[in-house]
Amino acid sequence: MKIVLIGYMGSGKSTIGKILADELGLDFLDLDAYIEYSEGSTIPRLFEEKGEIHFRKKENEHLDRLLKEKHNFVLSTGGGTPCYGNNMEIIRKATKNVFYLKVSVGELVKRLSTQKSERPLIKNIPDSNLPEFIGKHLFERGFFYERAWHSILCDEKEAEEIDKEIRSFLI
């Protein structure tokens, strides 16, 4: 069984993915960590030294390889992964168990405002501009996120509740 979690940064993909994998006895894979290991570099360093286009090409290659070669896992993608190249098509063809963890702008602001130093994309965004930045990004990425086979509304839910909801949809 292949399960893929997509959504904006801070939506809980890694947290939910680990719980889900544990409950189902599957491996948990984090695409960003897999890319860093495979490339021998951090993602911020790849962006800085080789540029976003190089990173997105590598992201696409690693995503495709993982989905073709590995079986029985829960995969947490990067927030931008579904939005570039043919990544969403690759994901949708690999499994019907694709879940968009949908979180409101307000909830994302609350979650991410305490994690800014760990998030290069928002590290230098003033707190007062964070809602607008996230809202704009969600608007731009929504088309891709909404192509998941399932959407799970995550506001005001505990991780275990989201895990249970995802498991109820598994094929």
Judge whether 11 is annotated as a binding position.
Answer: yes
Q: How far is it between the farthest Cα atoms of the chain?
A: 44
Q: What is the DSSP letter of 28?
A: E
Judge whether 65 is annotated as a binding position.
Answer: no
Judge whether 167 is annotated as a binding position.
Answer: no
Please provide the size of the chain in residues. 171
Judge whether 142 is annotated as a binding position.
Answer: no
CA angle in degrees (0–180, nearest 5) for 64-116-151? 45
Judge whether 147 is annotated as a binding position.
Answer: no
Judge whether 119 is annotated as a binding position.
Answer: yes
Judge whether 10 is annotated as a binding position.
Answer: yes
Cα pseudo-dihedral 102, 152, 107, 22, rounded to 10: -110
Extended strands (E) in the chain: 2-6, 27-30, 73-76, 98-102, 150-153
Judge whether 79 is annotated as a binding position.
Answer: yes
Judge whether 17 is annotated as a binding position.
Answer: no
Annotated binding site for ATP: 10-15, 119
Annotated binding site for substrate: 32, 56, 79, 141
Binding residues: 10-15, 32, 56, 79, 119, 141
Return binding residues for Mg(2+).
14
